[in-house]
């Protein structure tokens, strides 16, 4: 019985250590969490869409809304209590970010999709690096969470990720990725 109790205590300590490791990294000035918006069926946006009208865009499904809520809950279980959340201007990203339920949500243009003009990839990625470099210095001890699109995240770090997946990126002072850990969307 004593060994079973010891095992349970050790297991809980290990889980707590892993949870606070993510939170501790995100409190530092070396890490940022990038997230692809949750499930929004389809590819791209319908022709004639406008950012001012969500009805003209590809939007989150009911499954995507649930995924975003679960991710926000999961982040809190990882001990991420405070976050500066920035998002693309597209409704599927804004909705994902809002459903995470952190205060301080803001639109950040360097997270906007360039899917319609892939020639903008380098410029937008450089803008994102500059944004990260500036904001990691001034964010205090809260997490910096960036909700964006597949094309942006791929251009930033060179990896394809699924809807709702996250990337814990260690970045250089100039905002460029040093290394990263993929975090699959929790279910």
Walk along the chain (187 residues) and give the pLDDT tens digit of each residue: 544 444 444 443 444 445 589 999 999 999 999 999 999 999 989 999 999 999 999 999 999 999 999 999 999 999 999 999 999 999 999 999 999 999 989 999 999 999 999 999 999 999 999 999 999 999 999 999 999 999 999 999 998 999 999 999 999 999 999 999 999 999 8
- For the chain, the first-to-last Cα distance in angstroms comes to 33
Question: Which residues span the domain enclosing 125?
Answer: 2-183
Q: What is the pLDDT of residue 16?
A: 41
Q: What is the pLDDT of residue 20?
A: 81
Residue 63 sits in a domain of what CATH number?
Answer: 3.40.50.1240
Q: What is the pLDDT of residue 104?
A: 82
Spatial distance between the Cα atoms of 54 and 38, rounded to a whole number of angstroms: 16
Number of structural domains in the chain: 1
For the CA atoms of 176, 177, 178, 182, the dihedral, rounded to the nearest 10 degrees, stands at 170
Closest CA to 105 of 129, 84, 76: 84
DSSP state of 141: T
Tokens of 2: 């004593």
């Amino acid at each position: 019985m004593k060994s079973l109790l010891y095992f349970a205590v050790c297991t809980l300590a290990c889980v707590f250590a892993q949870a606070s490791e993510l939170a501790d990294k995100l409190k530092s000035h070396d890490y940022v969490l990038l997230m692809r918006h949750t499930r929004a069926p389809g590819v791209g946006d319908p022709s004639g869409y406008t950012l001012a009208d969500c009805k003209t865009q590809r939007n989150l499904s009911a499954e995507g809304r649930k995924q975003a809520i679960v991710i926000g809950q999961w982040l809190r279980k990882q001990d991420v209590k405070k976050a500066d959340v920035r998002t693309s201007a597209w409704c599927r990203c804004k909705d994902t970010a809002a459903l995470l339920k952190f205060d301080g949500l803001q639109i950040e243009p360097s997270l906007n999709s360039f899917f319609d003009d892939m020639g903008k990839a380098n410029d937008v990625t450089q803008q994102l690096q500059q944004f990260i470099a500036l904001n990691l210095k001034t964010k205090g001890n809260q997490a910096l969470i960036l909700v964006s699109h597949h094309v942006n995240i791929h251009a930033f770090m060179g990896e394809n990720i699924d809807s709702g997946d996250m990337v814990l990126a260690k970045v250089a002072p100039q905002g460029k990725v040093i290394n990263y850990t993929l975090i699959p969307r929790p279910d």
